A and B are shown apart, each in its own frame.
Chain A
Amino acid sequence: MSIVLKAEKLSKWYGNILGISDINLEIKPGITGLLGPNGAGKSTFLKLAAGQLKPKLGSLQIFGENVFGNHRLFQRIGFCPEYDSAYMDMSGWQFIMLLAHLHGYAPCAAEAMSEKALTEVGLVESKDRLIKGYSFGMRQRLRLASSILHEPEMLMLDEPLRGIDPLWRIKIIQLIKEYEKQGRTVIVSSHILPEIEAMTNEIVLIHQGKIFAKGDIQRIRGLIDSHPHQVSILCPDPRRLAARLIGNEYVLSIEFTTQGRGLTVKTNQRDHFFKALMHLIAEDRLTVEEITSPDDNLQAVFDYLIGK
């Protein structure tokens, strides 16, 4: 497969603030997930790839061409930015039609493409409303429509599922997968692992402006699964639950909370532990009010992986 995006020693900083540093990356057709905590450099990378920023050092090429100032390349690229921004005094239809005209479509084709894009994100019904009357999720879907309008060969989506309701999340994930099936390239960023997992196996982990790991998600998952994980359980009889858990092979330690109404379990096999816990609750008819996992976020995983 040919290389669609190639970054060599790519660096970008804003004054004294580091955006990304010395990134070498090749992306081929298919879906690639950019994963990293907030402020990791995902958006900076995508903005460089979308020609919104100039590299300070190194180079970034898409389809073999530099991006900044190369407007013709945007016939082949679609970009959905992270910002909640739009021309609020325009209707959704006017906004999409403006972009369709700027992509060079004749009036009839522009209408057809706009209608199609708005249908795909479920905004046809509200296309004539002013954008300022849209909800956050609707504006997010409109941004997505603007990026797929011209059916680009390469699509870059910066946190595309942010603020979208669960039903539309599923539909958008399907839409993105459909792009992959058509042989196109999609780069999608997120700081939520399950979102990326639902779309692709190919991920790039970014942390503090550097590529931390790249490859199959299962490998990363393996690292994450073996990461000592804390699970807080709120229940009326924590001593009974602790007695049942103490012999479990996946439990490293158990601590009672100060209020005496719960316990915190440390495990090194999160998924196996949850299976065993569910089995135990069902078997012993234990009452559990709440299960939370304070470590279940990407920052904790990254901290673990980099050995903090």
Chain B
Amino acid sequence: MKNSNLIAVIFSSFFKSGLKTARTRVFILLSLVPVLLMVIVRLIDASGAPDFFSHIMLSLYFQLLIPVLALFFGTTIVNEELDNKTLVYLTTCPVPRRSIILGKYLAAFMLLLTIVASGFLLSFMAAAANRLGQLAAWEELGIFLGTSMLALFCYSALFTLAGTFMKKSILIGLFFVFGWESVVQYFPGVTQKFTIIHWIKSLLPVGASQGGFLIFQLQPSPALESILVLLAAGALFLFLAVFIFERKEYILSDNA
């Protein structure tokens, strides 16, 4: 059987079972919080809704929900198999380990995209109910959706990598999201380029106005460079995750 077919089998199975898990349901509900806020703003002040939409996208989705979702789904790709001692069923099938991790990564990515994109669409409908005929509104949505795909690709690859070699990868990931990413993005010069969020914000129509309460502000990079950096970083993280997963011995039980 071809590797691509094996990846498809694993993807399909884990995508379907992933839709039914309690974790997915909780995150679907969480992703609806911005939608609810959007509806409330729309009802209070319809003229301010489009601006609020942009800001809610950045602050709630790109800076909070996407990294947190990617953290919880990415790290569990391997860690959940270890905690539940189910990895043995996959690794005793005639399947290359790279197909296992890539299939599971794709399933997690598609689950995340489904959750985020549905939240985006609902928020957009609430914000731009009277602008649906305008091309600019759809362009803005397209930019947000495209950027969210890149963000999910990169963050979930990073956290998949963390899950392949760290037992407490969620704790480290939380420190990364709320420590490193939240603070270093406001550092001056090239330092902020060591965060993923810098490249994401560089693609968004909002962002330059962020960080007003700090001395330093976002210094956006060119869009093409940002896309390439996010794609390259995601691919590198994924390559390293596969490299480690293929070689590492995972001990599922303490019983000798």
**Which of A's residues lie within 8 Å of B, judged by CB?**
14, 17-19, 38-39, 41, 43-44, 50-54, 68-69, 71-75, 77-79, 81-83, 85-90, 94-95, 98-99, 101-104, 146, 209
Contact = CB atoms under 8 A, between A and B. Distances in A.
Nearest to A97: B13
Contacts of B90: 102
B44 interface: no
A94 B13 contact: yes
B89 A99 contact: yes
Nearest to A149: B93
Interface string B101-120: 00000000000000000000
Interface of B: 1, 6, 9-10, 13, 17, 20-21, 84-86, 88-97, 246-247, 249-256
Contacts of B255: 38-39, 43, 82
Contact of A81 (B10, B13, B88): B88
A38 to B, nearest CB: 8
A103 B85 CA distance: 20
Nearest to B247: A69
A89 B80 CA distance: 13
A85 B89 CA distance: 9
A104 B94 contact: yes
B92 A79 contact: yes
Given A14-B256, A39-B256, A94 B249 contact: no
Nearest to B20: A89
Contact of B21 (A44, A85, A89, A98): A89
Contact of B256 (A41, A79, A81, A86): A41
Given A19-B256, A87-B17, A75 B86 contact: no
Contacts of A18: 256
A171 B1 CA distance: 34
Nearest to A20: B256
Given A14-B256, A39-B255, A86 B91 contact: no
Contact of A87 (B6, B86, B246): B86
11 contacts: A50-B88, A50-B92, A52-B252, A71-B95, A74-B93, A74-B94, A75-B94, A89-B21, A90-B13, A101-B13, A102-B10
A114 B92 CA distance: 17
Nearest to A79: B92
Nearest to A50: B92
A104 B1 contact: yes
Nearest to B22: A89
Contact of A51 (B86, B91, B96, B254): B91
Given A14-B251, A85-B86, A103 B13 contact: no
B223 to A, nearest CB: 40
A244 B13 CA distance: 68
Contact of B94 (A81, A90, A98, A102): A102
A102 B256 contact: no
A141 to B, nearest CB: 15
Given A51-B91, A52-B91, A102-B95, A69 B251 contact: no
B84 A85 contact: yes
B253 A82 contact: yes
B28 to A, nearest CB: 16
A102 B252 contact: no
B247 to A, nearest CB: 8
Contacts of B246: 69
Contacts of A39: 255-256
A243 B116 CA distance: 84
Q: Which 4 residue pairs across A and B have the least CB separation, nearest first?
A: A85-B85, A102-B93, A104-B1, A83-B85
Contacts of B93: 71, 74, 99, 102-103
Contacts of B85: 81, 83, 85
Contacts of A68: 249
Given A17-B256, A74-B92, A102-B93, 8 more contacts: A14-B254, A43-B256, A79-B88, A83-B88, A86-B89, A87-B17, A101-B13, A104-B1
